[in-house]
Amino acid sequence: MSAPLLDVKGLSVRIAGTSRDLVADVSFTLHPGETLCVVGESGCGKSLTALSLMGLLASPPLSVTGGEALFDGRDLLQMPLDQLQALRGDRMAMIFQEPMTSLNPALRVGDQIAESVQRHQGVSAKAARARALEMLRRVGIPAPESRLDAYPHNLSGGMRQRVMIAMALANDPALLLADEPTTALDVTIQAQILALMRDLQAQSGSAMILITHDLGVVAEMADKVAVMYAGRIVEFGTVAQIFEDPQHPYTIGLMSSMPTLGQRVARLVTIPGVVPQASQMPPGCRFASRCPFANASCAKTPDMTEVATGHRVACWQVPLEAGIDQRVSA
Amino acid sequence: MLSFIGRRLLVAIPTIVLISVLVFFLQKLLPGDPVLALAGEDRNPEILEFLREKYRLNDPLYVQYFNWIGNALTGDLGVSLRTQQPVLTLLAEKLPVTFQLAIMALVIAVVIGVPAGIISAYHKGTWIDWLANVVALSGLSVPNFWLGIMMILLVSVKLGWLPASGYQPFTDDPLQSIRTMLMPAFVLGTGLAATLMRHTRSAMLGVLQSDYVRTARAKGLSEKRVVMKHALRNALVPVVTVITLLFGELLAGAVLTEQIFTIPGFGKLVVDAVFNRDYAVVQGIVLCTAIAFVLMNILSDALYRVLNPRMSDQ
């Protein structure tokens, strides 16, 4: 396979005044055109991972404490701000969770898109506006000519997220980071937005990191999946490997907590317990307190081991013997 | 927008009427008799009675009020009991002075206060923020009269850079006019700059954490553009409200500052009028200031709508 577009090794993020990492030792690679879904519960460090790559961590108090992230061979984490600014919005772009608050309420949406085009392509205001119009049309906004001069509050949530997508894709980025782009939207709109993102990605050939807690979205969009728990990647593999042969007890728990169509169950399966607080992160395996298989060896942080080509798991108990599904769901 | 302003002006009418009623009757409650003040040492009852008749002070209060307000509507605010000059003439004389002082003080306040607020919010928690806050707090705490006297001592007496007092009409000699007004405007402006700085800082702090500022950064915009275009535009909304209200306050006259620098503005006029029980002048000034305040409020709301497009659709 070709050289990776993005190669993240050992990324760690810490909040000032604590000694435990909110994102710990996160590593993955992403090739051009691929979609990586990062999945996990709220607060597991998915968004922080994406924000660190963009250099957008709220710093202070958050800061990257280790690792590297090679993008086109250059380390994003060490890059001076001016070089990073030249990449943001151009080679790499980000879509945020909240379309309601992520657009500037005081500026017209056309200007907000055109601004990014002008910044990176150095074209005239007129050409940038034409590009903004083209992007609005491509993301399927009806009557795009009249929407150019609309303010965000004139648009519905779904339309605003389309505007965000138009803005992010306006300069044909090689990498698109999407942080729960459909979470704030109605279910019917969610499907439309996902389909739109997939189409546009296919047209432009850009790679995508899609952050979600929705396994349905993962199944639909992903090539590769990274399952995160409490700041660590606990399992990494192709979408087939993760869905058909989950190895980490947490992943198995996630899979069994997904409702299945056509099957009536009295109650959905849950994973007992909650994600530990950043301040109370246990040493060793962070899932141990909720894990039905935990034993003394889990007091040490498990290494990532490869169980199949490209399928890596961080668990001392892997491979688990047969029949575990029942034990997890019990 | 025009219909909005028109509507607001209509709504302002009852407010102004209410103010006129309050001004008129509250003043009647004050102890002291204008006729006694006018007659001076001479307490001859016949003269007092003559004066009361002349100024129609024997009419029932409500008749007096309607006389006053009726005349006011035709532009006649009465004459000063002391100088016999029409109140309107007095106001027309003082208004440009106070207006010029207010504008200059406001410009100084905005030029210092808004950038200081932006910088201190952007560098929140650093020594820059700390320094800006200390300076602002000093600006708020130092009394104007003290700062005024110190400035006269330093800038006029010691350095001889600016005249210590006096007033030169702007139309006669603009440059000299600005020079004479510079120190009082600075004294007034620095105090207001501190207020503005605090407001700008808190508005900016909120906006800088917003999602759309993060989006602007994610677009690769420079920090300058992120702050000046994306953040400031939104942070200005509450700040503009404060600015217009401060301007309204300035128009009411700055009594102490005007006294120190012997500027013949509203402040001085109103103090003299109160001490001399010169009812007509006090009423005229208060009414005039109140109207200025109401107009400033309308202007503030209009600007609010310009800056905040969500408002203009409603």
The CATH number of residue B153's host domain is 1.10.3720.10
The verdict on B110 and B196 lying in the same domain is yes
Residues of chain B with pLDDT > 90, as a percent, come to 21
pLDDT at A212 over 60: yes
Pick from A185, A196, A191, A134: nearest CA to A158: A185
Using CB atoms, pick whichever of B125, B220, B222 lies closest to residue A120: B220
CB contact under 8 A, A153 and B220: no
Instruction: Enumerate chain A positions whose Cβ falls within 8 A of a Cβ in B.
Output: 54, 56, 58, 60, 81, 85-90, 93-94, 96, 98, 101-107, 115-116, 119-120, 151, 153-154, 164, 167
CA distance B214 to B209: 8
What average pLDDT is seen over chain B? 85
Give me the pLDDT at residue A51, please. 92
Does the interface predicted TM-score (ipTM) exceed 0.90?
A: no
Residue A92 lies in a domain: no
Best residue in A71, A82, A85, A111 to probe B by mutation, most B CBs within 10 Å? A85
Chain B nearest-CA distance from A2, in A, is 28
Rg (CA), chain A: 21
**B138 lies in the same domain as B274:** yes
* The domain boundary residue, chosen from A154, A171, A188: A171
> Within this chain, do residues B42 and B100 fall inside the same structural domain, yes or no?
no
B80 falls within a domain = no
Domain residues for the domain of B49 are: 2-73
Inspect the interface and report whether the beta carbons of A106 and B216 lie closer than 8 Å: no
- Both B145 and B11 in one domain: the answer is no
| Full residue range of the structural domain in which residue A167 is found | 100-171
Q: How many domains does chain B have?
A: 2
Judgement on whether residues B133 and B270 belong to the same structural domain of the protein: yes
The answer to whether the CB atoms of A96 and B214 lie below 8 A apart is yes
| CB-nearest partner of B218 from A58, A86, A88 | A88
Domain for residue B299, yes or no?
Answer: yes
In a domain, A189, yes or no: no
Residues B249 and B153 in one domain: yes
Tell me: pLDDT of B266 over 70.
Answer: yes
Which helix (DSSP H) or strand (DSSP E) does residue B309 occupy? helix B309-312
Task: From A171, A206, A222, give the residue that closes a domain.
Answer: A171
Average pLDDT of the residues in B127-150: 86
Residue-wise pLDDT tens digits, B221-262:
999 999 999 999 899 888 988 898 888 888 876 778 888 888
Q: Give A321's DSSP letter.
A: P
Nearest to B27 by CA among B54, B72, B61: B61
Q: SS3 for A313?
A: strand
- In a domain, residue B81? The reply is no
Q: Do both B39 and B112 map to the same domain? A: no
In chain B, the largest separation of any two C-alpha atoms, in whole Å, equals 85
A173 to chain B: nearest residue by CA? B219
State the pLDDT confidence band at B121, using cuts at 50, 70 and 90.
very high
Asked if B209 is an interface residue toward chain A (Cβ–Cβ < 8 A), one would say yes
pLDDT at A259: 73
User: What is the average pLDDT across A235-248?
Assistant: 90
Q: What is the pTM of this model?
A: 0.81
Nearest CA in chain A to B306: A106
| Residues B136 and B267 placed together within one structural domain of the fold | yes
Residue A151's pLDDT is 92
* Angstroms from A88 CA to nearest CA on chain B: 4
Position B84 in a domain: no
Instruction: Select the more confidently predicted residue: B169 or B134.
Output: B134
Could you tell me what percent of chain A has a pLDDT over 90?
35
A122 found inside a domain: yes
Report the C-alpha gap between A117 and A89 in whole angstroms.
9
A105 interaction partners in chain B (CB closer than 8 Å):
212, 234, 308-310
Per-residue pLDDT of A129-162, as tens digits, reads 999 999 998 888 889 999 999 999 999 888 898 8
Least confident stretch, B125-134, B197-206, B290-299: B290-299
For A94, which residue in chain B has the nearest alpha carbon? B218
Is B211 in Cβ contact with A106 (below 8 Å)?
Answer: no
Instruction: Give strand ranges (E) for chain A.
Output: 6-15, 21-30, 35-39, 62-71, 74-75, 92-95, 175-179, 207-212, 224-229, 232-238, 305-308, 311-313
The verdict on B169 and B307 lying in the same domain is yes
Across the A/B interface, how many CB contacts are shorter than 8 Å? Answer: 75
B136 and B68 share one domain: no
Residue A323: predicted pLDDT? 45
Cβ <8 Å between A116 and B233: no
CB contact under 8 A, A103 and B219: no
B66 and B106 housed in the same domain: no
For B123, name the nearest residue in chain A, comparing CA atoms only. A60
The pLDDT tens digits of the residues spanning B59-92 come to 888 888 888 888 888 888 888 877 888 888 888 8
CB atoms within 10 A of CB A131: 20
Instruction: Give the CB-side neighbour count of residue A168, counting CA atoms within 13 A.
Output: 32
How close A117 comes to chain B (CA, Å)? 9
Instruction: Point out the residue among A58, A87, A106 whose CB comes nearest to the CB of B308.
Output: A106
Domain finish residue from A152, A171, A190? A171
Residue type, A22: L
Residue-wise pLDDT for A172-183, tens only, equals 899 999 998 888
Residue B89 included in any domain? no
Nearest to B268 by CA among B282, B279, B280, B258: B258
Residue A88 with chain B: CB contacts under 8 Å: 217-220
Report the pLDDT averaged over residues A58-76: 86
Determine the pLDDT at residue A128: 93
Q: How many domains does chain A have?
A: 2
pLDDT value for A270 = 77
Give A325 or B281, the one with higher predicted confidence.
B281
Q: Indicate whether B58 and B112 sit together in one domain.
A: no
* Residue A294 is assigned to a structural domain of this protein: yes
Q: Cβ contact (<8 Å) for B222 and A96? A: no
Residue A297: per-residue pLDDT = 82
Q: What is the mean pLDDT of residues B177-206?
A: 90
Which residues numbered 280-309 in B keep a CB inside 8 Å of some CB on A? 307-309
Decide if A273 is inside a domain.
Answer: yes
Q: Answer yes or no: is B298 within a domain.
A: yes
Residue A263 or residue B92, greater confidence: B92
Confidence class for position A330, pLDDT limits 50, 70, 90: very low
pLDDT of residue A264: 66
- B228 at interface of A, judged by CB pairs closer than 8 A: no
Looking at residue B55, its amino acid is: Y
Contact A102 B212 (CB under 8 A): yes
